[in-house]
Amino acid sequence: MYPATADVTRATVQDFYSVRQALNVASADQRVLVVVNGPADHLTALRDSLRPVSNDDRIIGRFHFEFEEDSDWRKTVTGLKDDPGIVLIRPGEFGMNGTAMHQLSLDADNADITTVLLAANVEFAKTTEKRVYSRHFARGQDLGVYFEGGVPYGEDRDGDGQIDRGGRGGFRGPRGGRPRRSSGTMTELSRAPRLL
């Protein structure tokens, strides 16, 4: 009903605020992260030249992309080559680290990049167990995992410019956010003794 008015293969390539944020989101979405790391002048050209790759029907929606000039992020990713390049990263369980799956040079052509991306996606899918969010969340809490984002968590309901820290009160359910379900039927439950 709403056809595109421009060439969708030329849409802007995704770019996060930082590799740290990109790793966290890629982990949450269970996707391979593609970090394009190099000097600013190379990145400007690559942002444009990678548009057809990132918008390819076989690629779009299956990866996250990040462009990064700095090298501080390399401390959290294992298996990297020293050179700048296009790095495909398997994010860690909670997105706090990752492992390099493949690394290409910055001058790799789009056909080679697409081939490597497709192979990495198949490998990732075969070796990654689908996550059950409630268990994942509970495990993260048990391990004390916390991602401090650039934007504070919560809402400013009273408009004073500060995040409101107090809860709204009331029972919020068990850890993991899922309500407990009874195994009994409504008839069985209605016959159960009631406490006053």
pLDDT tens for each residue of 148-192: 777 777 888 888 888 887 655 434 444 544 444 444 444 444 444
List the 85-91 sheet strands across, edge first. Answer: 63-68, 32-37, 85-91, 98-104, 77-78
- Higher pLDDT, residue 190 or 136: 136
Answering whether pTM is above 0.85, one says no
pLDDT at 81: 87
Numbers of helices and strands, H then E, in the chain = 6, 5
What CATH fold (topology level) applies to the domain 8-133? Glutaredoxin (3.40.30)
Name the least confident of 33-37, 67-71, 91-95, 188-192: 188-192
- Give the length of the chain: 196
At 78 the three-state DSSP class reads strand
Provide the H-helix boundaries in the chain.
19-29, 40-49, 51-54, 110-127, 133-143, 186-191
The dihedral built from the CA positions of residue 29, 35, 41 and 47, taken in this order, carries a sign that is negative
Q: What percent of the chain has pLDDT over 90?
A: 38
So what's the pLDDT on residue 123? 94
Under the banding of pLDDT at 50, 70 and 90, the label for residue 195 is very low
Report the pLDDT value the prediction gives residue 173, as an integer from 0 to 100: 43
* Phi and psi, residue 32, nearest 5°: -75, 140
